[in-house]
Structure formats: structure tokens, C-alpha cells
Amino acid sequence: MSSSTVITNIATLITNDPSLGDGSPLGAIRDAAVVIDGDRVAWTGESSKAPATDNRVDAGGRAVLPGFVDSHSHLVFAGDRTEEFNARMSGRPYHAGGIRTTVAATRAASDAELEANLARHLAEALRQGTTTLETKSGYGLTTADEARAVRLAARHTDEVTYLGAHIVAPEHADDPAGYVDLVTGEMLDACAPYARWIDVFCEEGAFDGDQARAVLTAGRKKGLHPRIHANQLSHGPGVQLAVEVDAASADHCTHLTDADVDALAGSRTVATLLPGAEFSTRAAWPDARRLLDAGVTVALSTDCNPGSSYTSSVPFCIALAVRDMGMTPDEAVWAATAGGAAALSRADIGRLTPGAYADLTLLDAPSHVHLAYRPGVPLVAGVWRRGVRAV
Ligand code: NIG
Ligand code: FE
């Protein structure tokens, strides 16, 4: 029989079940308790009504929320790009070509080095409250290097994305069509067994709309579900393509027309905003308010990668989204939990309701609002993942 634990004396419990508590999308319950049975949530409600359990934890009047769901990262890489960041902060613009630096370092690294780097970043994210993390290949760009990336990633997360179409591999610079054939052929065959998702960087200097469509369609035929890097550095066809292929998520969404916003609003595709990228590239912020007002489902994630956004901190992204993207603290916290789950088509994470995974973050603060109110402060005081205390 699995053992049960009650966490009591929670000042604010975010359930993301709008039928509970204050009736807001966050379903916030005051003076709450949550019961964990094995790896699942068994009960939530007012502290005074909590059932008896084997173990008891006193939250000390602090806040508990679902573990963050970081639905977009690029963590199978070696090396870093400190020089490039330094140059950018002296005025040099960001461009997709920097990816080649990380491709060279990643190809040269051993499996053990790559896996240790991935595990180190996952542990860093966990300490900051992230209990589910999607991660991508995309710094290998040969069949062997991409297959190695997804194979290593699959040892650490169920949410693995094949991004052979990150940029055209340097050895195919003169033959982009040949590279798309490789990505949709032999490389896809080698990577599909380890991945759940297929992604493409649809952008000038990477892949155009027709190439991106070919990549996503080939992936779907192999049983992978589409997601897409869309409209990050300039306006392009990525968001429309995401809706056309019913992608789970269109990621970045920085440069949007009204038609793009309307297309997202009329679709099931989540808009995943990645403010770490705008922060680290000194770019204009995506307009979260415009998307939310149009009724689009918005997720917030880190995009953690050594080039455009080297942060693993969801709390940092929440603070940016509130300060600079027009989100309320409630909306940002929802987007980083339930929104991330929606972007990964998952109903078993991102909420604290009976039957969901017991992935919880305890804050050293009485309310989730402090994540934006106290930027840069390490507020995560405890993390349970699959019912087990991990931090
Ligand atoms: O999401 N946009 C494409 N890929 C990454 C950047 C990768 C890199 O610069 O290494 C992103 O921002
Ligand atoms: Fe990315």
C-alpha cells in the first residue's frame, strides 16, 4: 500500500481547478491542505477538513502551487556562448547563426559530458520549482548526433522533442533541400523512437513555411506530434502553419499580425511565450495581453539554451511576463503551470486535483503573487515530484 502525506497550514493553495476555492482560473483555496497518496494528489480542501494520513507536513502559512511545467528548453548541448552574449550586450544583434557554435561543441562532446550537462540543468530547474521539463535535440544536425541527443534526453524526461530542423547543418549549407530530405528521412527514422514531439525553427536563416510544413508532416506520419518555433525574430508563416497542422503549441509568438492572433484564438494551439529570449537578446517583448484578450491559451516557459536564453528559472520568466508583457500575476502563474501542461497536451500535470501527479512547489511566501513581486529572490522552499520530496 502506498503511503499518504498531508501538507497542512497552506495559506494559499493553487489548484488550477476553477470549480474550487475562489472560483478564479487558479482555483485558489485559502487555509488549505493537500493530501498526497503515492505519486498522486488524493484530496485538496480547507485545512480543518483534511483527512487523517500516515505523515503530516506543516507548510507554515506559506503558498503551495503545482510544479512548473517548462514546455520549451534546449538542454542537450555542450559549451556556452558567453562571448556572443557579451558582444550582444555591446550592441551586436542576435541571429540564428550562433547556433553553429553550439553545434560544433555538442558534436565534439562525449555522451557522458552531454548527459552530465543535461542532468545538471534539470537539477537546477528542479530547485527552482520545475517538475516537468520538455527538452529538444537540435545541436547535432547529423543523423548520429541528433539520435544521440534524443536518446540521452529520453533517459531524463518523457517530453522529448526532435529538432533536427533547427538550422540547416553546416555541411548542407549549399543544399538546404537535401538537408530537409535528411531531416524528414533517415534522421527522423533514427530519432522518432525516442521522441514524442517534432519541432522546426521557422524563420529567416532557418526554414521557410514550405520546408517547415514538410518537416512537421513527415514527423506526424511517424507518430510525432508537431510544435513549432514561430514568429520569433521576424514576422513569418510559422503561427499560421502551427494552426494549419494543429500543433500543440506555437512557441515565441513575438511578431504577430491580427490575423495570427485570430488564427490562434480559433484553434487548439497554445501560444508559448519565452521572455528569457527577449531578455537575453534585448528584443521587444511578446504581447501577452493581446493574446489573452483574444482568448488564446498562453503558456510561459524558459527556452533554456546557451544562445538566446540561458535561464532555467520559471520564476524569473513569470516576473518578466508580469512586469513587461501585460500579464497579471495570476495569469503568469497559470501560464507557467496549467499553460505549460496544455502546451504539452497533458491533463495529469499542472494542476493539483485528485488524480493528477503530486508535483508541488512550496514557496517561502504566503502567496503565488510573490513570484513576480519579489523578482530574483529564491522563493522555492520545497518541491515534491511524483509524490516524493525532491527539494
Ligand atoms: O528558441 N530559435 C531557435 N532556437 C533557440 C535558440 C538557440 C540558440 O541560439 O542556440 C531559441 O531561441
Ligand atoms: Fe527554442
- Residue 22 Cα to ligand 1 midpoint, Å, equals 39
Ligand 1 pocket, 307 CB below 6 A? yes
What per-residue confidence (pLDDT) applies to 96? 86
Closest ligand to 202 CA?
Answer: 1
Name the band, by pLDDT with cuts 50, 70 and 90, for residue 1. low
Model pTM greater than 0.95? yes
Q: What average pLDDT does the segment 57-65 reach?
A: 98
How many H-runs (helices) and E-runs (strands) does the chain carry? 15, 17
Query: Phi and psi at residue 320, in whole multiples of 5°?
Result: -65, -45
Residue count of the chain? 391
* pLDDT of the residue at 318: 99
From 85, 166, 255, 301, the mutation candidate for ligand 1 (largest count of ligand atoms within 8 A of CB) is: 166
- Rounded Cα distance between 254 and 204, Å, is 14
pLDDT at 358: 98
pLDDT digits (tens, 9 = 90+) for 281-313: 999 999 999 999 999 999 999 999 999 999 999
For 147-172, how does the pLDDT look when each residue is reduced to its tens digit (9 = 90+)? 999 999 999 999 999 999 999 999 99
Q: Are 16 and 331 within 8 A, CB to CB?
A: no
**303 close to ligand 1 (CB < 6 Angstrom):** yes
Ligand 1 centroid – CA 358 distance (Å): 31
> Which ligand 1 atom sits closest to the C-alpha of 101?
10
Q: Which has more pLDDT, 21 or 6?
A: 6
Burial of 156 (0-12, 13-18, 19+ CB in 10 A): middle
Render 187-231 in DSSP notation, one character per residue.
HHHHHGGG-SEEEEEESTTSB-HHHHHHHHHHHHHTTPEE-EEES
Give the position of cell 557579451: 86
State the average pLDDT over residues 363-388.
98
Other Cβ atoms within 10 Å of 292 Cβ, number: 18
Environment of ion ligand 2 (residues, CB < 5 A): 303
Q: What percent of the chain has pLDDT over 70?
A: 100
- Decide whether any atom of ligand 1 lies within 6 Å of the 102 Cβ: yes
> Is the pLDDT reported for residue 195 higher than 90?
yes
Mean pLDDT, residues 140-145: 98
Name, in order, each residue with C-beta under 8 angstroms of 123's C-beta and a sequence gap of 6 or more: none
